[in-house]
Chains A and B, each alone.
Chain A
Amino acid sequence: MELDYTGWKRGVGSGVVAGIIWGWVAMVLNTISGVFPFESSLFHNLISFSVGGAVIGIVVGVFLAITSKWLPFKGFFTKAVFVSTSIWILLSIGGFLLSAMSPWRYNALGVQAFQGLVLALILGCILGTVWKVYQRKGV
């Protein structure tokens, strides 16, 4: 079985771009909401949010490229939101399990989880938009 080469490459490309933008959006949103007071410097966070965002963006983008054929939605925008939210929920379930096993190490907070869910939706929106732009340009 051969993978759709153009599809996964577009998933990686759009995932990197969307992920970095998402990382910066997350910083801005958290500054506005004040849910978590930043502990590191702005420069440090610019790098860590860009790298973290790009890594998660690639995962979401590639999963979107692979699963898009089977998802019961028409537009890539909806598909991207579905995939990003699903991956965030899976990661959260893992986090809550870790929290249950070692509560002194992993401390789950509801308000941060809610912000994370909103950010997952935003990642899907950004990825869907970037994907559409890439598709239009034939990249």
Chain B
Amino acid sequence: MEQILKDEKVLLKTLWPVLLIFGMALATVIIVYGMESIAHGVHDAFHDFRHVIGMPCH
């Protein structure tokens, strides 16, 4: 029982960073490519940022 609880703690400790990395990587892709279909308004919100960091835009 203790081993199961310990394993769950380890799993949660590992899951949290993995979710964070996945979320931040997804946010990066959405911001960098201005994916309007996923996040409405992201293109205009980060338009200047995208150009300045050298990503293709219209």
Contact = CB atoms under 8 A, between A and B. Distances in A.
Interface of A: 1-3, 5, 8, 12, 23, 26-27, 29-30, 35-36, 38-40, 45, 48-49, 51-52, 55-56, 58-59, 62-63, 66, 88, 91-92, 94-96, 98-99, 104-109, 112-117, 119-120
Q: Which secondary structure dominates where chain B touches chain A?
A: helix
Interface string B7-30: 000100110010011001101110
Contacts of B33: 94-95, 98, 106
A48 B51 CA distance: 12
Interface of B: 10, 13-14, 17, 20-21, 24-25, 27-29, 31-33, 45-49, 51-58
A117 B54 contact: yes
A128 to B, nearest CB: 19
A21 to B, nearest CB: 14
Contacts, number: 109
A38 B25 CA distance: 26
A8 B6 CA distance: 21
A113 B33 CA distance: 14
Given A59-B28, A91-B28, A116-B53, 16 more contacts: A38-B48, A40-B47, A49-B49, A51-B46, A52-B49, A55-B28, A55-B31, A56-B28, A56-B32, A58-B24, A112-B51, A114-B54, A115-B53, A116-B54, A119-B52, A119-B53
